[in-house]
Structure 1
Amino acid sequence: MHIAIIGAGLAGLTCARRLQAAGHDVIVYEKGDGVGGRMSTRQTELGGFDLGAQYFTASSGRFRNEVAAWRKAGWVVPWEGRLVTLDHGVAQAAGRSGSQRLVAVPGMASLAQRLAQGIEIRAGQAVVGLERHGAQWLLSVLCDTVPVAATAGPFDAVILAIPADRALPLLRPVSAFAVRAEGAHLVPCWALILGFQEALNLEYDGAWVQGSRLRWIARDNSKPQRRPGEHWIGHASPQWSQEHLGDDPERVKEKLLKAFHEATGSPVNPIYADVHLWPHAQAATPLAADCYWDEGERIGVCGDWFAAGLDGCGRIENACLSALALAGAIRPEPQH
């Protein structure tokens, strides 16, 4: 089959690789300039900053098999960061999760970049509509260089590997699954990016923060194979991010930097500071399924907002398991 995949995050890339290996002809459309979605590494004059996904764990056997292959290839390695809970500046050792924490090297985005190798990806092209064309699909595609949408296709099947809030406008006119997908509303997250001239000398590498605008902070350069320098990432809480969703970024940066100083007790000012908004960071409530595939309509949906047999959602493991489930539900291309 000739298959279009919308979204080049981990779910879209994982699904694309499996389908291509099964003999299908796959094209991935991505509205951004690069691949990876929230597995993002911001490149600056100070080096890279993992401003999205911070690390991942593997709890299911199927995902552990995937991770084992990534580790063997040298794409991911363990992160032995010292993690604590911070409550009004007081640090307490965080309990072990029981699962090893892993990171991609030399940045979280590098895993997606490697998974994208050998896949045809149309970056900078936003799919804004789906239309039936007999038994096939046509895509309406926008890009920065053309003022009007172009038509792409026809495709035998379409897969949406994007956040639920972005998938809904595409699904509503063509699929009854849109009604279920409305239950997976995603919450935003403001990310804070900080670079310092000198070490802060804090006795931890990451912390879950209590009683603060920030929910999580991490010393990014404590991860393996990162560029030297004092680099920190902060993630605001979902509630605070939602309340300040439309705020001016400079104002958000000022507030989150103050929260960082209060949480860490460090008076040192950064030489680099910026913020980034993830408008669809994590599903408030996951869908209790692995994925969605309509064999008759040949339209499918996958992503980290599906539970995929796990407790909770929004994790790299959810995205991968959901994509594998969807790829497995699509019949292999017959061999001639």
Structure 2
Amino acid sequence: MHIAIVGAGISGLTCARQLQAQGHHVTVYEKSHGVSGRMSTRQTELGGFDHGAQYFTATSERFRKESGDWRKVGWITQWEGKLASLDGGVSKAAGNGTKRFVPVPGMSSLGKHLAHGLDVRLEQQVIGMEQAGKQWLLSVKAETVPVSATAGPFDAVVLALPADQAIPLLQLAPAFAKQAQKARLAPCWTLMLGFQSTLELEYDGAWVNHSRLGWIARDTAKPSHRAGERWVCHATAAWSLKHLEDDPERVKEKLSKAFHEATGSHIQPIHAVVHRWRYSQAVEPLAEDCMWNAKQRLGVCGDWFAVGLEGSGRIENAFLSGLALAKAIAA
């Protein structure tokens, strides 16, 4: 079959690789200028910032095996950073005993490896879908072209998107749209700080209590990252939702203040930028592994499916969901 996959995050790329290995012809559409979705690394003159997903864990046997393979070929390595819990500037050790992995030299590099050998169309946003007999036609928008183009026909379509972005494309599958409504994703404001000198903090990453921030990490503490003093700070979901439409400069000011309060450091950054993740993590994951309608040949996968794990929004969820959908299509 000729299959279109919408979204080049870990779930979409995993599904695409599996389907291509099964002998299908796969075309991946991605609205951004690069692959990896929320496993992003933003490059600056100071170096890269992993401003999306920070690391990943492997709890299921299948994902542990895959992670082991990635590690053998040098795509990922273990991050043994010192982690803490912060409360009013007081730090306590936290998160011990859990193996955490990071792609090298940045989080986005894993997606680049997975995309190798795939037909990925970057900066092409799918804004509509229609059925043509037993096939699908996609309406694709590119910034360089004033009029949307029609792509296809495709024998099947996979939506590997956050639930909120998948819903508008599921008009011809109302049951799927209704399911996706249950897994709306919470936003996250991210602050990236670069300093001229070290802050001399005793931890590499920390969960922050009673703050606008929920997590901070010294990006440069990760293996194979460029030297320097760069910190990534994630606001809590509740604060991000409340201030979702705030002016970015105002958000930067508030989160910078929260960083200084949490760490007790008053050294001023030489680089400060915020990024808004409008769709960050599922509020309530769907219990299923994925969704597949064999009659319509339409599927949905993503990190907002539980896939038998506790919680959602993890890279493991994304991988297992993409894998499950490829298996469902093969069946």
Q: What does 1:234-313 align with in structure 2 at a 5 Å threshold?
A: 234-313=233-312
Determine helix, strand or coil for the equivalent of 1:148. coil
Look up the equivalent residue of 2:157 and give its one-letter code: V
SS in 2 for 1:147: coil
Contact 1:190/1:241 (8 A) holds in 2: yes
Q: Is the 8 A contact 1:130 1:174 kept in 2?
A: no
Measure how far apart 1:99 and its partner are: 3.1
- Please say which of residues 87-96 and 234-243 is displaced more in the overlay: 87-96
Are 1:162 and 1:303, in contact at CA under 8 Å, matched by a contact in 2?
yes
Q: Distance in 1 between matches of 2:88 and 2:254?
A: 16
Aligned residues: 331
* Structure 2 residue 21 is the aligned partner of structure 1 residue 24: no
Q: Which residue of 2 aligns with 1:87?
A: 87
Runs of 4 or more off by more than 4 Å in structure 1? none
Query: Secondary structure in 1 aligned to 2:147?
Result: strand
1:66 alignment partner AA: E
Shift of 1:259: 0.3
Counterpart of 2:160? 161
Is the CA contact (8 Å cut-off) linking 1:3 and 1:155 kept in structure 2?
A: yes
Alignment of 1:5-20 (within 5 A): 5-20=5-20
The match for 1:101 is 100
Cα deviation, 1:163-219, whole Å, max 9, x if unaligned, reads 000000000233421111110010000001011000000000000000100000000
Aligned-partner SS, 2:198: coil
Q: Which residue of 2 aligns with 1:131?
A: 130
Taking the aligned partners of 1:298 and 1:103, their CA distance within structure 2 comes to 35
Give the Cα separation in 2 of the matches to 1:175 and 1:6: 18
Distance 1:275 1:21 in 2: 39
Q: CA deviation at 1:242?
A: 0.3
Q: What residue ranges of structure 2 are gaps of 5+ in the alignment?
A: none
Structure 2 equivalent of residue 219 of structure 1: 218
SS at match of 2:295: coil
Residue 161 of structure 1: how far off its partner (Å): 0.2
Letter in 2 for 1:103: V
8 Å contact kept, 1:59–1:99? no
Deviation of the 1:95 alpha carbon? 4.0
SS in 1 for 2:279: strand
SS at match of 1:146: coil
- Work out the CA distance in 1 between the residues paired with 2:253 and 2:245: 15
Contact kept? 1:83, 1:207, Cα under 8 Å: yes
Written as runs of structure 1 = structure 2, the 5 A alignment for 1:19-98 is 19-96=19-96, 98=97
Any idea what SS the aligned residue of 1:166 has?
Answer: helix
Q: Distance in 2 between matches of 1:297 and 1:207?
A: 46
What is residue 202 of structure 2 aligned with on the other side? 203
Worse-superposed segment, 62-71 or 167-176 = 167-176
CA distance in 1, matches of 2:139, 2:222: 41
- The separation in 2 between residues aligned to 1:164 and 1:181, in whole angstroms, is 5
Describe the SS at the equivalent of 2:11.
helix
TM-score between both structures, scaled by the size of structure 2: 0.99
1:222-233 equivalent positions in 2, closer than 5 A: 222-233=221-232
SS at match of 2:146: strand
Give the Cα–Cα distance (whole angstroms) in 1 for the partners of residues 88 and 146 of structure 2.
51
Q: Which amino acid aligns with 2:239?
A: W
Instruction: Give the AA of the match of 1:133.
Output: A
Task: Kindly provide the CA deviation profile for residues 286-314 of structure 1, in whole angstroms up to 9, marking residues without a partner as x.
Answer: 00000001111100000000001100000
Q: Distance in 2 between matches of 1:234 and 1:289?
A: 31
Answer yes or no: is the 8 Å Cα contact 1:58–1:99 preserved in 2.
no
Structure 1 residue matching 2:66: 3-state secondary structure: helix
Q: Given residue 295 of structure 1, which amino acid in structure 2 is its aligned partner?
A: A
* Percent identity for Structure 1 against Structure 2: 65
Map of 1:111 onto structure 2: 110
State the partner residue of 1:321. Answer: 320
User: What residue is the counterpart of 1:191 in the other structure?
Assistant: 190
